[in-house]
Amino acid sequence: MSELPSHLRAVKFTVLALAALHAIYFSLYTCIAHGLFRTYAYDLGTFDQGIWLAGHGFDHFVTVRGLPLLGDHVRLFSFVLAPMYWIWDDARALLVLQSVVIAAGALFLCRIGLRELPGRPWLVLVICASYLLNPAVQNLNLDHAHPDAFASTLILASVDFLGAGRLLPFAVAAALAMSCKEDVPLVFVAMGVALMLDRRRRRLGFLLALSSAAYFLLCVAVILPHFNGAGFFRYGQQGFLAGLWSEGHDPLWLLGRFLRPESIKYLLEIGLANLYLFVLAPLAVVPALPALIANLVSDSWYMRNLEFHYQTSVVPFLYVATAQALARIGLLRDAIGRATASAGEGLRAAGELASRFLGLVGATAPVTLLAAAVVANLAWSRVPIRDPGVLGRSWNERSSEPAFAKAHELIARIPKDAVVSADYSVVPHLSHRRFVYMFPNPFEVSNWGIDGENVHDAGSVEYVILRNVHSGEDIRETMDRLVAQRRFERIAGDDEVALYRRSDRPPVSDRAACGDWNGDGKVTDGDIRRIGDAIMNNDECALRICDTNGDGHLSYTDVLLLGKRRSDPAVPLRCPP
């Protein structure tokens, strides 16, 4: 095997170094953000608990979401990731692995680029740097955790293996990508259709499209209905594709969705980092069309926003198409020359102008592509390169603010196997357990299941922990009511962050005696509280236990006498036998 030329080694090493830097930076940033409670139940908590359950043999019901693991999305990839928590049982393991996998996408893109542009390795380096600077790629790392993040790199891996003619690794990468989420198979359906246009790959394209379509139908028609009873509910009246469900048959409605200002803005934003060069290689963009169309017609604005994770099946193909477009500029110029050679003077002049323009595009691509990526990064990345100090400031905030340390201290006090309800910012810190709920669930239904069905028993919750976070619901009012009903008591914390423990009265002990509810042989604050609750709520309480002054009926004077006994053991109690 011949040694690579030094300039190729330099390019590959630089891409590897950039990917490593990207992985380290975003691993640190996301872990610090997690410590600052900037990762939430939706979606780190839901994905994280599902992976943990997949590796611990439970029934795989994700209590953060109120749906089975395979009833929200078909995330078979969760079982692939599950062994990760046997090594490091912490949500930060998922954040670090996600950062590494996203950065690894640049390595596969480098291989694709060097194959398409063998004579311009430094241009390939710029394409890879542009990918790592792309705001959609960086923001994917910051949108909590999603299986889509893993699918994005697996898609690039599949394109790389396919281009190299390595069909077995291609099949493995494609299968893993499709296991991330039920809509990813549509990427490979479209890829198969594009392959069928090439006579040499028609059979491969047909098999790919057929198998991918079959798996997609299996997901939406069998797996999802089996686990959630409704199927792909996001396409129904309550989903983000509800408009498509009701109006998709109308071509004018579809045209209106494609041409509305926010759709045009979205297309301009997502293509800027590539200078829209992908339009010169349209077949390479075909696999991105299912996700791109869904984003354009969706009722939900955030699917057209680069801050969220909905571009993961789009961006990889824009970069593949960009590399192919730059590789084909010479062929395009030749084709324009041949087409206009025998035309009129005006058409020949136009052809000459177009040819010169393409030549200029190709010659200046290293500079213009990098500049476009920087502009896009500054405009839409949540951690733009103009603010390199954000990591240090976040670390200082984490280490210097007492409220964060207090919250982590209270979290550590909750037993590992306890049933907990927590606000959305605390859930990801407690999601490695069988039962954890996003407050006010299960006391009040909120973002649970598909339509609030199959609510769990609120009586099973042992602890509640709440930070003073902004919420669309008045969760404090709900907690205050639980405390007023004496169902929970605050055992630590303050108005900024508080830990509550269930205080419902346990059954009276068989060994109970006068003033001694739990039968431990002494009068304690717990005995006083439980006997007082029973008396004040007119609950049944035997006179031999609760009638401490012996007057034959229960009243608050019995509780007062217990308080005196607690302070002075010499105070006599006179319960009847």
Nearest one of 327, 314, 317 to 284, comparing CA atoms: 317
User: Looking at the structure, do residues 529 and 479 belong to the same domain, yes or no?
Assistant: no
93-120 b/e with 16+ CB inside 10 Å = b?
bbbbbbbbbbbbbbbbbbbbbbebbeeb
Same domain for 20 and 143, yes or no, is yes
Shared domain check, 572 and 437: no
Considering the domain architecture, whether residues 459 and 343 belong to the same structural domain is answered as no
3-class SS of residue 67: strand
**How far apart are the C-alpha atoms of 305 and 355, rounded to whole Å?**
35
Q: 3-class SS at 61?
A: strand
Q: Is 24 found in the same domain as 153?
A: yes
Residues 328 and 223 grouped into a single domain = yes
Residue 107 to residue 101: CA distance in whole angstroms? 10
d(CA 215, CA 282): 26
Shared domain for 236 and 266, answered yes or no, is yes
Q: Which of 108, 116, 106, 105 is nearest to 324 (CA)?
A: 116
What's the CA gap between 212 and 313, in Å, rounded?
15
- Domain boundary residue, one of 481, 502, 523: 502
Q: How many CB atoms lie within 10 A of CB 203?
A: 11
Residues 190 and 283 in one domain: yes
Is 138 within a domain?
yes
> 52 in a domain, yes or no?
no
Count how many domains the chain has: 3
How far is residue 512 from each of residues 290, 333, 354, 457, 522, measured CA to CA in Å?
68, 95, 95, 29, 10
- 8 A C-beta contact, residue 192 and residue 205: yes
Query: pTM of this prediction?
Result: 0.87
Among candidate residues 429, 495, 491, the one with its CA nearest the CA of residue 462: 491
- pLDDT confidence of residue 164: 96
**373 phi, psi to nearest 5 deg:** -65, -40
Whether 345 and 452 map to the same domain: the answer is no
Secondary structure (3-state) at 198: coil
Regions of the chain where pLDDT drops below 50? 1
**CATH number reported for the structural domain that contains residue 570 in this entry:** 1.10.1330.10
Q: What is the DSSP letter of 509?
A: P
Asked if residue 329 lies in contact with residue 275, where contact means CB atoms within 8 angstroms, the answer is no
Give domain status of residue 294, yes or no: yes
Give strand pairing partners of 501: 463, 489
For residues 76 and 181, give the distance between their C-alpha atoms in angstroms, rounded to a whole number: 8
Co-location of 187 and 128 in the same domain: yes
Q: What angle do CA 489, 490, 494 make, to 5 degrees?
A: 160
| Among 348, 380, 412, residue at a domain's last position | 380
Helix (H) or strand (E) holding 65, with range, is none
**Residue after which a domain boundary falls, among 479, 502, 525:** 502
* 446: Cβ contacts below 8 Å, ≥ 6 apart: 438, 440, 473
